[in-house]
Structure 1
Amino acid sequence: MDAKDADTRGHSTRVAHYAGFLARAVGLSPDWVEAVELGGLLHDAGKIGLDDFLLRGVNQLGPEEWDLVRQHPETGRAIFANLEELAFLLPALECHHERYDGTGYPRGLSGRQIPMLARIMAVADAFDAMTSERRYRRRTMGFEEARDEIAAEGGGQFDPELARLFARHATPELLEEARALTREPRRPAGPEEAVVIPDTRQMLVSA
């Protein structure tokens, strides 16, 4: 999915990283942390069948086109429905765009009706969207602004306890770690490239 849409390249990997972080903050077992991370990797699989213009023009879509985009959680569930080993993830894949206040989609669930894994993925998904460059957004939020936005949406878009935990425990390093995971590796030097100048910015991030 990330390869299909340049705006979301690396998005699923970063969402998995943030979701795993929040799952650990909640105190979930290692097995469930791994499950949440897998959900982060697969959460947008349902977008694979959408036309490119639907993915790249989200600020210019009409009601009927938005309806198509909003089908992707159910499509994602359907993609994996016959895989018994992923049965435990299906509700989370379907519900990651539900909102705690009941105004989300596809089913309009609210509060604890929304599976815990989906509530975690919702925070992770939104945080990455806020802090990543998108053609349809005027600007990208910095760490502090995005963290504060997550906290402010507790009880609205997000589970208030999860929003509080994320805001309390997240650090700028979390954002840098996720970006490092999806940074394209440097091209290996060819035989004609005898001198290589180190990328000091990369070294600083890795330090």
Structure 2
Amino acid sequence: MGREELLSIWQLEEMSPVDYHDIGKAETEDTPGHCTMGAQFFRNLYETKTTCFAEQIFCSVAADLCRFHHYRYDGKDNPKMVSGQDIPVIARVCAVANAFDHLQESGRQPDEAYENICKESGILYDPAVVQALGEAIHQ
């Protein structure tokens, strides 16, 4: 997507905020509040435990990722009607990656998973992120 500079900012040593997108979600339940719980966890960590600028960036990005990764690109059915480019880019990327991962876990091949995601491009998912996924899997 031409945003490679963000990767180094988002990382903290070997950790990525994407690794924590479902923090607060138990494996056995589908808790709708897990986004809020994860965002609050990283906000609290930011306010009480961070000791350097890199940690602050990581916690801030992780909080946004946790909070927004289930928001629809079209803005429907989310609490604040946040949509499109107002959803943080890391959350838009995670939404597509998360859907792709879940579709593959359910037995779909990469092309089939991508086709399913394409059907929701501009509705659930950022079209630029969907396009980038297509380019990545068809290289």
Q: TM-score range by the shorter chain?
A: 0.7 to 0.9
Match of 2:37 among 69, 75, 84: 75
Q: Give, in whole Å, the separation in 2 of the partners of 1:41 and 1:118.
A: 12
Which TM-score applies when normalising by structure 1? 0.54
Offset, 1:33? 5.7
RMSD: 2.3
- Structure 1 pair 75–33 and aligned structure 2 pair: CA distance change class (3 A): closer
- Bigger Rg over Cα: 1
Equivalent residue, structure 2, for 1:169:
136
Partner of 2:100: 127
In structure 2, relative to structure 1, the CA distance for the partners of 1:145 and 1:158 (3 Å cut) is: same
* Structure-2 change in CA distance of 1:79 and 1:105 (3 Å): same
Provide structure 1 residue ranges, at least 5 long, that are not aligned to the other structure. Answer: 1-24, 56-68, 134-139, 173-207
Q: Distance in 1 between matches of 2:129 and 2:61?
A: 21
Counterparts in 2 of 1:87 and 1:155: CA distance versus 1, 3 Å: same
SS in 1 for 2:122: coil
Q: Which ranges of structure 2 fall in alignment gaps of 5 or more residues? A: 47-54
Shift of 1:105: 3.6
Q: Percent identity?
A: 29
| Matched positions, count | 125
Matched with 1:41 is 19
**In 1: Cα distance, 2:2 partner to 2:77 partner:** 23
Q: How does 1:37-116 map to 2 (within 5 A)?
A: 38-48=16-26, 52=28, 54-55=29-30, 69-84=31-46, 85=55, 86-116=59-89
> TM-score normalised to the size of structure 2?
0.77
